[in-house]
Structure 1
Amino acid sequence: MRRVEPVPSSAPASRGPAGSRRVRPAAVGAAVLLVLTAAPADALASESGIRGHCARVDRLRVPGAERQQVDCLDELTTAGTVASGHTDPADWAGLTPKDLATPRGVPGIQLDGYFPDTSTTDTNHGWNHDAQFVIRLPDHWNGGLVIAGAPGTREQYANDRAISDWVLARGYAFAATDKGNTGAAFYRDGARPGGAVVEWNERVTQLTRAARTVVTRRYLRPPTRTLATGMSNGGYLVRWQLENHPELYDGGVDWEGTLWREDGPNLFTYLPAALRSYPVYAAGGDGAESARQDLLDAGFPAGSEFLWPYHHHYYWDLTQRIYREEFDPAFDGATEAGTPYCSPGTPACDADYDYASRPGSVHDAVRRVSLTGRIGKPLITLQGTLDVLLPISKDSDVYAGMVRDAGRGDLFRYYRIEGGTHVDSLFDGFPDKLRPMVPCHRAAFTALEDWIGRGHRPPPPSRTVPRPDGAEPHTLLTDCRLAG
């Protein structure tokens, strides 16, 4: 008899800065230690050996990983991993509507670990080590693998509710990474400006190669299709991977990916306008209408005004300061990430930031992570028309033009989702004005499946998908029709 155990970890559970529960070591709680009888190679290659619960768990090694732990779980979706400690609810908080259904009934193997790295901002499992990953291998596999990078500055579990649960229930293996640095001080990583974001792309490439090998070892054949998907910064990673490493993927779904372009538009060409003009607009009075027009001119969509207070409070200021620090740390001298909520005229205030006038070294740093539109595999992009963090006219509308200009339009579809915004949790507060993006992402994902397989049916033509008149919230949460 041979006992198969995870790589041991003596680290206790840890808590995040706000007291949120961090993932416990995966050997704790519901993690199951398997007792297997050693079997000949031909038996392991048999149908039962491949398809049995957590079969071949003792053969799994993540290439290049410095540390890994492997657990056999009765449930790989958040219906089970929340209780067992194999996800971190704080990592995906605020990304999905509260009433999003949670699938269940997906037993299989979860691998957690990290690749060699020098930064320590990811505290999951008590490891205090970046370049962490999660790989999930369902017992009942459909032959596919889905790769995702984290949105924002979140960690490897950020996609668990929005993406992992659903693709696992469809039979896909799933892998995600923390991108190599996490949290609001991610800019401290990297040897020179832009280096932290450069690492994001490298870590997704690294994980994709490793996950494909793990899948092959588990199921004794390589994945028939490898699909990249993600939201926000995760969507940017999809774009970059299909431009730079199309050989690793069969296609991708980009959910409101961040647009980086050396000459703009980018975050720095519109967020400072929001920081300057929103306080004047919110104060009312004679200057309010002019300030509102400044926001519209910067790209923020008309009709999104009801979302501006939330984004002013939570997103615009912090996003501008920490990303500006990543690409242009000299702007505020020795100060890290500027002065929060400063008024124009304050020394080194991000409300006065003028990207066009900054030194060439800043533009060079942005160029290192810029996109080109030269995708090499089928890509579906979707973004909400009421996105108030990444305005659609300055983001996906532009990227769609870049793809066409690069001569890759035959590999591309673009759906503008009327009433969609950047984070789906806002749908809970404004169900009469918004629509959740998650069902539209799922519709795009199934359209990609049809495009690259199952008869190779092309997706519906690119278009603006209207918000159905009079639609009930429960209908919007489960239905999104991309075709006209």
Structure 2
Amino acid sequence: MRPSRLVPPVVAALAAATLTWPVSASAVGADDVGHCARQTRVHVPGAAFQQSACLPDLTTAGLAGTQYTDMADQAGLTAKATPRPSGVPGAQIDGYFPDSSHFNATHGWSHDAQFVIRLPDHWNGGLVVTGAPGTRKQYATDTAISDQVLARGYAYAATDKGNNGVDFYRDGTRPGDAVAEWNARTTQLTRAAKRAVAQRYGHAPRRTYMTGISNGGYLTRWQLENHPELYDGGVDWEGALWTEDGPSLLTSLPAAVARTLGAARDEDLYAVGFARGSEFLWPYHEKAYWGLTQKIYRAEFDPGYDPACPGPSAGTTTEQILAPCASDAAYDFASRPASVHRAVARVSLTGRIGKPLITLHGDLDALLPAAADSDVYARMVDGSGRGLLHRYYTIQGGTHVDGLYDTYPDRLRPILPCYRSAFDALVSWVERGAQPPADHAVARPADGDVVGSCALSDRAASAR
């Protein structure tokens, strides 16, 4: 089977820069009672612009093909057979906060700091907040996160992080500004969404959960470390790790780029954390992830490294944008100037979480290898004396994007069903005091519904 069948996320993003679908004819208005009550009275604090719609179904089953979601920006994140709930009526608010950058062309606004807030008619009193993974935008996790939490009755809010796309590193005036904005925008949206929820339902959310995938997982870690007062807990799905002196993407990806260019051996990748057994995934990552990701973050934190290859903008075709820079094969983060390390330090994690957190990471992740990421973060949490607030589950057969399961169903398993189980476990932990299982590796089942279910209690034979 050929991994190239999976559309690389950046290709999907480039192909779907603007949403131009017409408003659904089924959208209707209501105000004081019943469906979408108080919709017109909800004003998102701080928003420069907002528009709302009363919709018969807020899930992707009802929104696909409309301007209220973007299925192309979700490409690759979930397996094709992922169970999707439907039939959640309510109001959706789209808008943006004041910002000076213009990478996000969704709705034709050409304006960053876009957000979406969904308010179901039948509310359970909770709010779930997330930020876009990778370089994607505010609708990226609609299938992976929004659908399920809306079906459980939660209000939902997501942000594009304030900059997006392969040129996001151009935002800001100094190294690290773009990533630092991700954190600020998530905090901003959380505060605004809490007040919007109170306007709609008559009181603030009783529980607020932070969660996310990849860069969204990083946001979850950062928020629980820096603003625990805003949240009751979080679920981190393969969050990116940033630390001042490493490890980080800038310490693991150069070896992968070098191998792509024939300048490194498999053993060099193992040495920086890539898992033995993940080799069958490397050809796809060579084409879709490694070169592009290294360029993006090197350009964000270390823009002076290679003037001849400043970042993805050095290319004009998709192939050029995805291709690695030859100089990145020799990139040595440890020897870079102190200013580069200070730029990373601005967004670094500490492990000092202030609310319960569950971390999931696939043992076959070939973009953010667990040994250089969540294994390290779990030790950071323990070292900070916050281990009682943390659970860490390695998902056997899991990799960075669930879409690869469709190419390798005999070798992989989707993480999404484990994520849904982890979210339920977090809620039970926070609201009922039910302690989740201790840290372990979750076994990949030999049969059964691996796309639709996951028992966190199933331990792999080689559990940690």
* Fold conserved between structures, TM > 0.5: yes
Structure 1: 5+ residue runs without aligned partners? 1-15, 37-43, 282-289
CA distance in 1, matches of 2:276, 2:15: 38
Distance 1:195 1:432, change over 3 A: same
Secondary structure of 2:117 counterpart? strand
Q: Contact between 1:21 and 1:88, CA under 8 Å: does it hold in 2?
A: no
CA contact 2:392–2:440 (8 Å) conserved in 1: yes
- Following TM superposition, by how much is the alpha carbon of 1:75 offset from its aligned partner in structure 2, in angstroms? 0.7
Q: Does 1:22 align with 2:18?
A: yes
Which gives a bigger RCO, structure 1 or 2 (Cα 8 Å, sep 6+)?
A: 2
Say what the alpha-carbon RMSD is for the aligned residues: 1.8
The CA distance in 2 between the partners of 1:380 and 1:17, in whole Å, is 29
SS at match of 1:476: coil
Post-superposition CA distance 1:57-101 (Å, at most 9, x none): 111100000000010000100011113320011111110001112
Who is 1:353 aligned against? 331
Q: 2:442 aligns with which of 442, 450, 465?
A: 465
Q: What secondary structure sits across from 2:285 in the alignment? A: helix
Alignment of 1:135-146 (within 5 A): 135-146=117-128
Map Cα deviations across residues 150-176 of structure 1 (whole Å, 9 max, x no partner): 000100000101000111011110000
Aligned 8 A contact 1:228 1:251 in 2: yes
Is residue 173 of structure 1 aligned with residue 155 of structure 2?
A: yes
Q: CA deviation at 1:30?
A: 3.2
Equivalenced residues, count: 440
The counterpart of 2:392, out of the listed 408, 414, 427, is 414
CA distance in 1, matches of 2:84, 2:442: 25
> Do residues 476 (structure 1) and 450 (structure 2) align?
yes
> What residue is the counterpart of 1:72 in the other structure?
54
Q: 1:84-163 alignment to 2 at 5 Å?
A: 84-163=66-145
Distance 1:298 1:201 in 2: 27
Say if 1:144 and 1:428 are closer, same or farther in 2 by CA, change over 3 A. Answer: same
Tell me how far apart the structure 2 counterparts of residues 62 and 409 of structure 1 sit (CA, whole Å): 36
Corresponding letter in the other structure for 1:322 = I
**3-state secondary structure, aligned to 1:101:** coil
Runs of 4+ in 1 over 6 A off after TM superposition: none
State the distance in 1 between where 2:101 and 2:114 align. 11
Counterpart residue identity of residue 156, structure 2 = F
Q: Which residue does the alignment assign to 2:35? A: 53
Q: Percent identity?
A: 60
Cα deviation per residue 1:206-253 (whole Å; 9 max; x = unaligned)? 000000001011010111100001000000000000000000000000
- Name the amino acid aligned to 1:408: R
Contact 1:384 1:419 in 2 (8 A): yes
Report the CA distance shift for 1:270/1:210 in structure 2 as closer, same or farther (over 3 A).
same
Take 1:214 and 1:298, find their aligned partners in 2: how far apart are those partners? 45
Shift of 1:478: 1.3
Q: Answer yes or no: is 1:432 the counterpart of 2:406.
A: no
Q: Larger C-alpha radius of gyration, 1 or 2? A: 1
1:318 — aligned with what?
292
Task: Give 1:333 deviation, angstroms.
Answer: 2.2
Asked if residue 238 in structure 1 is aligned to residue 220 in structure 2, the reply is yes
How far apart are the structure 1 equivalents of 2:49 and 2:394? 41
3-state DSSP of counterpart to 2:305: helix
Structure 1 equivalent of residue 346 of structure 2: 368
Q: Distance in 2 between matches of 1:93 and 1:191?
A: 31
Residue of structure 2 equivalent to 1:188: 170
SS at match of 1:109: strand
**Aligned 8 A contact 1:278 1:291 in 2:** no
Aligned residue number for residue 215 of structure 1 = 197
1:320 to 1:57, Cα distance in 2 relative to 1, 3 A: same
CA contact under 8 A between 2:132 and 2:216: conserved in structure 1? yes
Q: CA–CA distance in 2 between the matches of 1:93 and 1:277? A: 27
